Amino acid sequence: MQKEIFGQMATVTKVFEEGDWLTAEDINKLQKNPPTKNSLPASHWKRQRRIFSVSYDGKEYYPRYQFDSMYQPLSIIGDILKAYGECADTWSLAIWFHFPNGWIAKQVGDDDAMPVAPRDALDRGSDVIKAARSQSGTYIA
C-alpha cells in the first residue's frame, strides 16, 4: 500500500513538473475582457465541465493544453471529459492526458505505430474520445 502511494505521488510530481499550468487568475488576466472576479471565467468553465483542474501544493491549476491561443476552452476538451466520465480524483485524468496511450498512435515507418499522449493528439478528437471511453483509471505511470 505504501509503495503504491509513493508511486502515485511520484507520478503526480512528474506530471506537474513536465506540464504547462495556469491558475484561475492567470486565465482571468489572459482574457480579452477579464471579469472583475479573478476566479472567472475558469471556475465557470469548470462547473460546465468544459475544462478540469488539479490541486497541487494547496493551489488549483489548469493544464494549458485545454485552451486555444485566446485562452478559451478547446471544444474537444468537454467532449473528452464527457467520454472519460466522472472521476473522483482529477489527477487520474491529468495523468491519463499526459502519458502515451495505446489507443492513440502515430505511424512510424511503414509497419510500426507509436503511442501518443492524449494531450498531444487533441487535433484527432475521435481517437482521443475513443481512448477516453476505454480508459481503465490507472494512476501510476
Q: Is residue 138's pLDDT more than 70?
A: no
Q: Is residue 2's pLDDT more than 90?
A: no
Sequence ranges of the domains in the chain? 2-134
Return the pLDDT at 34. Answer: 93
pLDDT digits (tens, 9 = 90+) for 32-77: 999 999 999 999 999 999 999 999 999 999 999 999 999 999 999 9
CA–CA distance, 28 with 31 (Å, rounded to integer): 6
Q: Is residue 136's pLDDT more than 90?
A: no
Q: Is residue 137's pLDDT more than 80?
A: no
- Residues 66-94, mean pLDDT to the nearest whole number: 96
pLDDT digits (tens, 9 = 90+) for 4-44: 766 788 999 999 999 999 999 999 999 999 999 999 999 99
3-state helix, strand, coil in the chain (%, to 5): 45, 20, 35
Burial class from Cβ neighbours inside 10 Å (0-12, 13-18, 19+) for residue 17 reads: exposed
